[in-house]
Structure 1
């Protein structure tokens, strides 16, 4: 397995299959997610597909998605 690090170029993550939400707009303004392995996830900005990606462990990803599902980040919406 290649070493993956936060901030590495998203296009350098071998085998990443990026997925975005169906709610994405026509301008491609969306956050995209890729499951890299059983224990790693990556996130990138779809407007900059070759830009940096953030890499998360399964535990980090689970904590974030749990909080998002419970509305814990709703106060950040404008």
Structure 2
């Protein structure tokens, strides 16, 4: 399966705290090889970003440590 098919058939999910309106959310999907797809909930037709497992792990670690808090 090529990447475009994998992204089309991916199991996209968003945070439970995103609310029922679905706006202002980032969706993620696990992909082959440990990669992660990222897309804007408000524009699912646009090409998603694809990052490696290491990049995703570093981002999640930063979130947990509050590195992106305002």
Using structure 2 for the length normalisation, give the TM-score: 0.84
Gaps of at least 5 residues in structure 1 are 5-10
- Out of 37, 43, 49, the residue aligned to residue 44 of structure 2 is 49
- More strand by percentage: 1
- Give the aligned partner of residue 23 of structure 1: 17
Gaps of at least 5 residues in structure 2 are none
Which structure has more RCO (C-alpha within 8 Å, separation ≥ 6)?
1
Greater than 2 Å deviation, 4+ residue runs: none
- Give the aligned partner of residue 13 of structure 1: 7
- More helix by percentage: 2
Is 2:27 the counterpart of 1:32?
yes
Structure 1 Cα separation of the partners of residues 6 and 43 of structure 2: 13
CA RMSD, Structure 1 to Structure 2 (Å): 2.0
Is 2:44 the counterpart of 1:61?
no
